[in-house]
Chains A and B, each alone.
Chain A
Amino acid sequence: MKFAIQVNEGPYQHQAADSAFQFAKAAIENGHEIMRVFFYHDGVNNASNFTLPPQDDRHVVNNWASLNIKNAEGEPELVVCVAAALRRGMLDESEATKNAIEGYNLHPAFRISGLGQLIEAGIQSDRLVVFGD
């Protein structure tokens, strides 16, 4: 079955980021497909390449990256809402250049896109599961 997941909370702040990852992992392990994970609101912080948790703690960002969720074209399907990302200082190279800001912090396993991607995920998947408040 084809799943889509929406994550509304940041890592190390709310259990939703961990719950969503564990759900995605279990779905894949049981033969299902995760067609997209959409990170909205504070959920965009799951995509920070600058995240450095202590060695004995889980690495939420790398956990997401380890799921290797991509589409047929090889693009990441860990999708970060652009408006939510920019207002929280989450930038990819293109947004940094466009806004004349030095440096960018989006992990390469993620990509930035618009809210339409969430609607599309809701239409194209068999199930959309929402985590967070």
Chain B
Amino acid sequence: MLHTVNKSSFERNSLQSCLNTIDDTSVILLIEDGVISAANNSKSSMIADLAAAGRVFALQGDVEARGISSKLADNIKLVDYAGFVDLVVEHGTAVSWV
């Protein structure tokens, strides 16, 4: 499954709820304010292991709009909207965490 998260971990606990729920094959795509969790900050440890396994993506336009391109945590994969579409196709059901 594909899980999208659109809120910063400093604002809501939706990313944590998502992490508590997902199975071993799921991937996470951070969009909108969710990309704040892709920056190297005090919350980065939340997704470090998942990112190291290549299972965390962030929407490039939203990363750039928030000025965090140069501050990304390790192993975050950037995708554009076409990449977002491909992730939905590839991973089946898309769940939106808000």
Contacts and interface: CB of A to CB of B under 8 A. Distances in A.
Interface in A85-133: 127-133
Interface residues of B, number: 19
Contact of B32 (A19, A25, A27, A129): A19
**Secondary structure of the B side of the interface?**
helix
Interface stretch (B18-26, B48-56, B70-78, B79-87): B79-87
Contacts of A57: none
Contact of A128 (B6, B32, B62, B94): B94
Contact of A16 (B32, B61, B86, B93): B32
Contacts of A129: 88, 94, 96
A30 interface: yes
Interface string B32-64: 110000000000000000000000000001100
Nearest to A130: B96
Given A1-B89, A16-B32, A127-B88, A133 B81 contact: no
Nearest 10 Cβ contacts at the A-B interface: A26-B81, A130-B96, A133-B98, A15-B32, A26-B82, A27-B85, A22-B81, A129-B94, A26-B85, A127-B88
